[in-house]
Amino acid sequence: MAKPAFTTHTGMVDILPGEVEKWQYVETIIRKTAKLFHFHEIRTPIMEQTELIARGVGQLTDIVSKEMFAFDRGDDHYVLRPEGTAPVARAFTEHHLEQRGGTQKLFYMGPMFRAERPQKGRQRQFHQFGAEILGSAHPLADAEIIAFMIYVYKEIGLLNFTLKLNSVGDPESRKKYKQVLQDYLRPNLSKLSKISQQRFETNPMRILDSKEEEDQPFIADAPVITDYLNEDCAEHYQQVKCYLDDLNIHYEEDPRLVRGLDYYTKTAFELVSPDLGSQDALGAGGRYDLLVEEIGGRKTPAVGFAAGIERLLIACEALNINLGTTPDVDVYIVTYGDNAREWALKHVEVIRNAGFSCTLDYAARSMKSQMKDADREGARFAIIVGEDELKSDKFTFRDMAESAEASLNFDDILERLNDKLD
Ligand code: HAM
């Protein structure tokens, strides 16, 4: 086939009928979970101020330094949001949501944008669902956030995952740890990968996240943050683990788990799946007690997660989990002649008002090709209308699966539909 003149941008994907039903199913489960956990939906704009993301996510992160879709218009700096947490924190601050009292429990889903090199499970426009609890420093909130995330996968029947857990401490614990880590790495600095050498001064903890071959031996024996947590962070981490045990949520501690966003404090976690290939994180998150203040709000402890919907679907496909298919149509009206088409147009409305899905041919095709179309659309019933039927006021009502036909007036057809489809 000839290459079309226009295609989507690299890493941006159309979601076509046949596929979209799976999305709708997953979205229903996410909404249902949010309702059960009593989280409220928040919708923020697709574009934010570039400075918000730079300050929130961190100037030196890959997301900000390499992957932003950003442009200027007049004096305004726009960025397509690469994630949802900084925008939610911005909305929380801008609308003084803390004044609504209590903790704010928010969830969202929608497209995010990162100019990454596309590969399986990594796109430039992708979709996240996520939840944030703002206004609680308590480890119960961390446990609830993790429970929310896992509930979605369990509802879908996706059980093949591992929860990796760590604490990345607070600035005080990290300051101490960074020193120790740098002292450990310094003698071998020249043997590290280029990117790790660059990170040595700016963000040495990110070296632990390196996938470069030459870094691995040094990472394996590196000192771990959990040995350098101050009392507050260590106690918090301990409590989170206790609560997860109470909830029977299994986790693996991974003291080398560091996140690619700068706002995390204390708890950090990732849900990884063996069914995803190299981009193995289904979802991830953690606590971010300093973010709201960092972007100009009041000091507000918070914790959250976000998960990729594309990756969830990839894992479901690998495990043959069926998420729904194109819905069939209840009734297809097959018409022959202009009068029949006019009759059909009026009666589709009656059928729809009675609660049944109904479609008809828009191309004045032959009866034979309309019957084929009815089959292709998965119609349960066909109503066949031609001049003879209009004259006698009786229409052929065909049960497509059973190939059984009856000649009925319209009221009787409605009654049959009620009997058979209710
Ligand atoms: P993140 O780890 O950058 O965290 O992204 C969360 C999830 O989004 C990933 O685990 C992955 O499933 C999906 N994801 C990320 N980038 C891509 C991509 N290019 N293509 C497809 N899927 C992708 C955050 O975004 C934080 N905001 C999470 C959070 C919420 N932390 C606290 N609250």
Is residue 236's pLDDT more than 90?
Answer: yes
Any domain includes 57: yes
Give the pLDDT score at 324: 80
For residues 353 and 344, give the distance between their C-alpha atoms in angstroms, rounded to a whole number. Answer: 14
Q: Are residues 248 and 396 in the same domain?
A: no
Q: Which residues of 349-384 are buried (b: 16+ CB within 10 A; e: fewer)?
A: eebeeeebbbbbbeeeeeeeebbebbeeeebbbbbb
Which helix (H) or strand (E) element contains residue 265? strand 265-272
Our CA dihedral for 139, 140, 142, 146, rounded to 10 degrees, sits at 150
Q: What is the CATH number of the domain that holds 352?
A: 3.40.50.800
Model confidence, pTM: 0.94
Q: What are the pocket residues of ligand 1 if the criterion is a CB atom closer than 6 Å to any ligand atom?
A: 83-85, 114, 116, 121-123, 126, 128, 130, 132, 260-261, 281-286, 288, 304-308, 310-311
Tokens of 119: 């590969």
Cα→Cα distances 335→130, 342, 353, Å:
48, 9, 20
- Whether 313 maps to a domain, the answer reads yes
Q: Could you report the per-residue pLDDT of 175-214, keeping only the tens digit for each?
A: 999 999 999 999 999 999 999 999 999 889 999 988 899 9
Residue 148 shares a structural domain with residue 52: yes
Domain encompassing residue 53? 20-170+230-318
pLDDT digits (tens, 9 = 90+) for 64-116: 999 999 999 999 999 999 999 999 999 999 999 999 988 999 999 999 999 99
Pocket of ligand 1, candidates 69, 128, 129, 266: which has the most ligand atoms within 8 Å of its Cβ, to mutate?
Answer: 128
Same domain, 154 and 236: yes
Nearest in space to 331 (alpha carbons), one of 367, 396, 382: 382
User: How would you classify residue 291: left for phi > 0, otherwise alpha for psi between -120 and 50, otherwise beta?
Assistant: alpha
Structure tokens at 172: 């005080």
pLDDT of res. 53: 98
User: In the structure, what pLDDT confidence band is assigned to residue 254 with cuts at 50, 70 and 90?
Assistant: very high
> 150 CA distance to ligand 1 centroid (A)?
15
Interacting residues of 138 by C-beta distance below 8 A, sequence separation 6+: none
Question: Whole-number mean pLDDT of the chain?
Answer: 96
pLDDT of residue 209: 87
* Predicted local distance difference test score (pLDDT) of residue 373: 96
Q: Which of 48, 53, 83, 113 to mutate to test the pocket of ligand 1 (most atoms within 8 A of CB)?
A: 83
Q: State the CB neighbour count (10 A cutoff) for residue 416.
A: 15
Q: Does 11 reside within a domain? A: no
Report residue 214 as tokens.
Answer: 């030459």
Cα–Cα distance for residue pair 398/380, rounded to 1 Å? 9
Q: For the chain, how many structural domains are there in total?
A: 2
In three-state secondary structure terms, 358 is: strand
In a domain, 369, yes or no: yes
The predicted structure's pLDDT at residue 326: 79
CA 211 to ligand 1 center in whole angstroms? 18
Q: Looking at the domain assignment, is residue 93 inside a domain? A: yes
Q: Please tell me whether residues 296 and 347 are part of one structural domain.
A: no
Distance in Å, CA 118 to ligand 1 centroid: 14
Q: Cβ distance 371 to 334 under 8 Å?
A: yes
- Predicted confidence at residue 125, as pLDDT, reads 98
Q: Is the pLDDT of residue 422 over 80?
A: no
Domain-terminating residue out of 264, 287, 318: 318
The domain that contains 27 carries what CATH number?
3.30.930.10
* pLDDT at residue number 89: 98
Q: How far apart are CA 202 and CA 204, in angstroms?
A: 6
pLDDT over 70, % of the chain: 100
In the structure, what pLDDT confidence band is assigned to residue 3 with cuts at 50, 70 and 90? Answer: confident
Pocket test for ligand 1, best of 57, 64, 90, 112 (most atoms within 8 A of CB): 112
pLDDT attached to residue 340: 97
Interatomic CA distance for residues 388 and 386, integer angstroms: 6
What's the pLDDT score for residue 284? Answer: 98
pLDDT tier at 285 (50, 70, 90 boundaries)? very high
286 and 373 fall within a common domain: no
Ligand 1 centre to CA of 112 (Å) is 9
Mean pLDDT of 49-53: 98
Cβ–Cβ < 8 Å for 381, 332: yes
Calculate mean pLDDT across residues 217-227: 94
376-380: long-range contacts, CB 8 A cutoff, minimum separation 24: 377/328, 377/329, 377/332, 378/326, 378/327, 378/328, 378/329, 379/328, 379/329, 379/330, 379/331, 379/332, 380/328, 380/329, 380/330, 380/331, 380/420, 380/421
* Whole-number Å distance between alpha carbons of 71 and 165: 37
Q: What is the mean pLDDT of residues 121-125?
A: 97
Residue 367's pLDDT band (cuts 50, 70, 90):
very high
Query: What confidence score (pLDDT) does residue 2 get?
Result: 86
Per-residue pLDDT at 421: 87
Band of residue 252 on the pLDDT scale cut at 50, 70, 90: very high
Q: Do both 381 and 403 map to the same domain?
A: yes
Closest among 172, 186, 288, 177 to 225, alpha carbons compared: 177
What per-residue confidence (pLDDT) applies to 327?
82
Residues 355 and 408 both lie in one domain: yes
Out of 275, 292, 318, a domain closes at: 318
At which of 295, 318, 341 does a domain end?
318
Q: Which atom of ligand 1 is nearest to the CA of 307?
A: 7
